[in-house]
Amino acid sequence: MQASGNQLLSTVGRRYNPWQVLGEITRETFGQIITEREPIAAGDDIPVDVGLAHLAGRGLATMNDKATAALKAYLSGGGFLLAEAAAGDRNFDKSVRQVLAAAGLTLKPLGADSRVLSGRIGTSGQGFTVTAVGYTHALTAERIGKPQPLLFGIYLGDKVVGVYSPFDTTFAQTGCKAFDSLGYAAADARALAANIALLAAE
């Protein structure tokens, strides 16, 4: 897991600088400063000044009791989580849902009227409208006739504490190609990520 104060951190790796890409967008468009922190080991406490934590991976997702408790404490204290299946990995998608459920979190689909997709975030509603998107080559055929992004709100009780994406947004926003990656088109991935960053900063 990676986390940051007012910044998104990625398990994708620094080679592609996904948060630098996002940081440029949020700074130029919204005046929001994003700064990245070092990854936080599973089970370590997530600092209270972390604006948004990022949980992503491929393969089977696992989280021990200590890590589960740390995540729940962070979210209970006002933290926000972006969870996603890196490259749209199917095994991670299935297993991370179980991990989130074990932490007492529930997932609810986000519709076109949600703030993440409508962009109605903050007092001025300054986000992007992202109700129809494009996809990476490997995902395009599967999503024919389904232009709306597939995202889920992460809830702790009745409170929204994060967003989960079964498709890749972090790596996809860089525009770099990866074989068999199931994700959003770069511009749409950037818009979604920017909206999530704005929501986390509220």
Domain ranges of the chain: 2-201
For residue 162, name the pLDDT band (cuts at 50, 70, 90).
very high
| pLDDT beyond 50 at 5 | no
Q: Does pLDDT of 16 surpass 80?
A: no
Task: Using DSSP, state whether 3 is helix, strand or coil.
Answer: strand
pLDDT > 70? residue 1: no
Mean pLDDT of 172-192: 90
Question: Measured between alpha carbons, how far is 20 from 177 in angstroms, rounded to an integer?
Answer: 18
End-to-end CA gap in the chain: 22
3-state secondary structure of 16: helix
163-179 confidence digits (pLDDT tens): 999 999 988 888 888 88
Q: Does the pLDDT of residue 9 top 60, yes or no?
A: no
Is the dihedral angle over the CA atoms 35, 76, 189, 101 positive or is it negative? positive
Cβ proximity of 127 and 117 under 8 Å:
no
The H or E element that residue 93 is part of is helix 90-102
Mean pLDDT of 87-106: 95
At 69, the amino acid letter reads A
Contact 82, 52 (CB under 8 A): yes
Separation of CA 161 from chain center: 11
Beta bridge partners of 164: 83, 152
CA distance 131 to 114: 10
Kindly report the CATH number that applies to the domain delimited by 2-201.
Answer: 3.40.50.12140
Distances 198 to 30, 116, 122, 149, 191 between C-alpha atoms, Å: 9, 9, 8, 18, 11
One-letter amino acid at 172 equals A
What was the pLDDT predicted at 19? 66
The mean pLDDT value of the chain amounts to: 86
Cβ 101 vs Cβ 71: under 8 Å = no
> Tell me: the pLDDT tens digits for 135-158?
999 999 999 999 999 999 999 999
d(CA 138, CA 181) in angstroms, rounded, equals 6
Between the CA of residue 111 and those of 81, 88, 147, what are the distances in Å? 19, 20, 12
pTM attached to this predicted model? 0.87
Give the C-alpha separation, 87 to 14, whole Å. Answer: 16
Say what percent of the chain tops pLDDT 70: 86
The H-or-E segment that residue 155 falls in is strand 152-156
